[in-house]
Structure formats: structure tokens, C-alpha cells
Structure 1
């Protein structure tokens, strides 16, 4: 199993990269994981709903163009299913047994396009809270690492 995180948005603050890279290094012994940042469509100050829809479509095309044959796409969005850390660990264990390569898609500030939503095998919500975009990637990688630590009896996760 391999995990790729596709996220819209580049040039995050240094603290985002520091936190993300820390967990990225920790997870590598358990599962090959990679982050791919895709450019956000340029937005204006007075964008219409049609403009916002267009931006989501452009970003969605960028995400879908990165999906490789055989990868399972999971869309991260507020309306998705919520998982406990233990359920995520079980899900990841199943992915490993199946040999599934996973792509986790994080949309831009206006979310994911309908095309990405339709292409996704399922939708996952990290929280009912609205999270700042830079925090999503950090929370995501930390939870993936925590789930893998459960699956490998690593002491990081303490219930």
C-alpha cells in the first residue's frame, strides 16, 4: 500500500511544513506516504458564484489528472463519514491487506469539484468543525500516523 495526499494550495507557512514533515518522516517506516501540492486557481476579490464554481472545476481537473490507474480516491470534506482513530486503523489495515494504493484529496478554499466527489470511492470528514486549510494536512498526516502506530503496536497511541 502507498498513500498519496493531493492538496490544493502551495506556499504554506513554514510551521505547516515543519509539522507535516515531522509526521511524514514518522509514518514512512509503516507506509510510503507522499504529499503533492497542486496550484490553487487564481481568485479575485469580487468573484461570483459562477467564478467560484469554475475555480473548483479547474482544481478538480488538476486533482483528477494526478490519479493513477488502480488508486482509490478518497475525498476529504466536511460532509463525509467520520471515523474514530481505531476505525481508521482498521480501514488502513484493510487497505494494506488488499494492496490498495490510496489517494486522499484535499480541496481548495471552496472545496472539491463535483467531478472529484463523483470519482471518489468515499468521502471522509476529519471533523464537524470547519478547519483552517493548512491544518487539514497536519491533522490528516497525524491521524494516518496514529492509525499506523496502532496497527504496528507502536506506543505513540495511548487510548
Structure 2
């Protein structure tokens, strides 16, 4: 299974890159996580939030790997526990499904991407900075693998 994280935004602080890379490095080859940054649309000069999200949507859609299960992070998405994420990951691993996770830009995501999603997932009821979401998501994916492997990283 390949996991692709499409994240709108670039030039994250070094601590974000370091933390994301640390968790991605810990994942086994059969659940490798690859980050692909999507260029955000510049705002202003007549570019509304809707136009910006539409432009970002086109970039995201072009970057989604073929035949991937699409998991879109959204504040109105499903609340999964770490154990539920591990259960879903087990299903993906067993079926050989590749997954593509999407983090939107500052204004969110186009409704078109949300409608296309196989899963809308919410990481928190809190508003989080995009860099923090990258790190949190990578950590939770690592935690899910740890749960599946009965590794003591996760404790109930």
C-alpha cells in the first residue's frame, strides 16, 4: 500500500518538516507515506476564496494517484479513534488499496473534492495550523501501524 499526502501549502517551518519526516521514516515499507505539496493559489487581485479553492482543486485532482482511496480531511468529517484508523488501515493493507489523503489550503477545500472523497475525516474539533495537521496525521498513521503490530507505542 502506498500512502500519498497531498497538502496545499509549502515552505513549512523546519520543525514541521522534521517532525513529519520522523514519523514517515518510522512507517514500514508496506505502508510508506509520501508527501506532495500542492501550490496554494494567491489571494487578492480579484481572486476570491471560491476561485482560489477551484484552482487548488484542479491541482489536487491532477495529483491524486490513480485507483487510490481518497480520504479528505474536513472539519465536518467523521471522528475516528486511533484504533478505528488502525482497523481501516488493516482493511486497506489487506486489499492492497493505495490511499490518498488531502489537506486543504487556508480557505479549505472545494466542494468537488469533498464530494469525490471516499471518506471525510476530522482530526480535531479544534482549528489547527496546516503544518501541525501534517505532523498529527503522520503520527496517527504511525500509531495505527503500531497498533496493528502490537507495538507498545500505543497504550489504551
TM range (shorter): over 0.9
The SS at the match of 1:25 is helix
Q: Report if the CA contact (8 A) 1:30-1:148 is conserved.
A: no
Q: Find 1:103's aligned residue among 100, 105, 120.
A: 100
Consecutive aligned runs of 4 or more in structure 1 exceeding 6 Å deviation: none
Instruction: Return the offset for 1:29.
Output: 4.1
Unaligned segments of structure 2, at least 5 residues: none
Q: Deviations over 1:122-145 (max 9, x none)?
A: 100001111111100000000000
Residue matched to 1:64:
61
Give the structure-2-normalised TM-score: 0.95
Residue matched to 1:75:
72
Give the structure-1-normalised TM-score: 0.93
The SS at the match of 1:135 is helix
The SS at the match of 2:48 is helix
Q: Deviations over 1:31-72 (max 9, x none)?
A: 11100001110123xx77x71000001111111111222111
Residue matched to 1:11:
11
Residue matched to 1:128:
125
Which segment is superposed worse, 10-19 or 62-71?
A: 62-71
Instruction: Return the offset for 1:30.
Output: 5.0
CA RMSD in angstroms, aligned pairs only: 1.4
Residue matched to 2:39:
39
Q: How many residues align?
A: 156
State the distance in 1 between where 2:19 and 2:68 align. Answer: 26
State the distance in 2 between where 1:68 and 1:27 align. Answer: 20
